[in-house]
Amino acid sequence: MSLVVVGSIAFDAVKTPFGERERMLGGSAVHFSMAASFFTDVRVVGPVGDDFGDEEYAVLRDRGVNTDDIEHVAGGKTFFWKGEYEWNLNIRHTHDTQLNVFGEFQPKVSDASASADVLFLANIQPDLQREVREQCSGAKLAGLDSMNLWIDTARESLVRTIGTVDVVLMNDDEIRMLTEQPTLLRAARDIMDMGPSTVVVKLGEYGASLFTGDGFFSLPAYPHETVIDPTGAGDCFAGGFLGYLASEGSPSDDASLRRAMTFGSVVASFNVEQFGTERLQALTRGEIDERYEDFRRMTAIDQVPAL
């Protein structure tokens, strides 16, 4: 099955306690599409400027990502973000944000993208997300991510848009902020009351939790002694999650969703091992499958001694 993602394509400048990069490929659509490409055919929709050249296109195309719907804005500059992480990598400071061509982004969805089986609306303005969802009305599975900015400034629009998708993938702070609920279970139920059948709560280094009308599943993050750069890990998780579901025909049963959670966590665990997309560029499907089996053994309940 085909999958399309609509979101940001960016250049990032990142500093962590383990090093820094002054300019590297980033953005939600980039990390998501590269992660999903290990499982299914992916098309990416987003704007870039004149500074986005053959080298950047090659990173995506070498992973099999279809770039036909990347909009090149003549005379423009690509979205730029600069940030720094503390020793506690959950704490991030933004030093500079330049929206550039992303500030005027009006998604242009081709017929090929509009006919995709699976749609991911990455973190962009909720009105734009809803417009894209309407254009991709035939998608069998649609997912959405958002952030605190849109909860603060466009909450009503975001709630309307959430009502048009099947899966919401947001972090724990955003879920609580949107629903004004003190616990994730109550917050997830409120989100499902808006329309989606599935809520995935991203918990950073603590893993992720899955909520459906029938049950609950929680998965830790894959253990690492050293994390180099967490930028884009959440988008890689979403890419692995939806990419796997697309590869299986978009099933919604509990077992498939749990496997999708695990594949999402595995791909995200590779992403943090190097800066930006560096690790994903060298990653193989064999490495993903091997780590998936390691992860499955680590978390298997039948490995726990009986009482």
Ordered per-residue pLDDT tens for the chain, 307 residues: 899 999 999 999 999 999 999 999 999 999 999 999 999 999 999 999 999 999 999 999 999 999 999 999 999 999 999 999 999 998 899 999 999 999 999 998 999 999 999 999 999 999 999 999 999 989 999 999 999 999 999 999 999 999 999 999 999 999 999 999 999 999 999 999 999 999 999 998 899 999 999 889 999 999 988 899 999 999 999 999 999 999 999 988 999 999 999 999 999 999 999 999 999 999 999 999 999 999 999 887 665 555 5
CA distance 16 to 10: 18
Question: Is beta strand 41-48 parallel, antiparallel or unpaired with respect to 70-72?
Answer: parallel
Q: Collapsing DSSP states into helix, strand and coil, what is residue 184?
A: helix
How far is the CA of 106 from the CAs of 7, 31, 130, in angstroms?
A: 11, 20, 12
Asked if 10 and 30 count as a contact pair (C-beta separation under 8 A), the reply is yes
CATH of the domain at 161: 3.40.1190.20
Q: Residues 208-234: pLDDT tens digits?
A: 999 999 889 999 999 988 899 999 999
CA distance 198 to 251: 12
pLDDT at 130: 96
Residue 307 lies in a domain: no
**257 is in which domain, residue-wise?**
2-301
Torsion of CA 288, 4, 207, 18, to 10 degrees: 70
Residue 306 lies in a domain: no
Instruction: Name, in order, each residue with C-beta under 8 angstroms of 173's C-beta and a sequence gap of 6 or more.
Output: 148
pLDDT at 251: 86
| Number of separate domains in the chain | 1
Q: Residues 77-90: pLDDT tens digits?
A: 999 999 999 999 98
pLDDT at 306: 52
Greatest C-alpha distance within the chain: 68
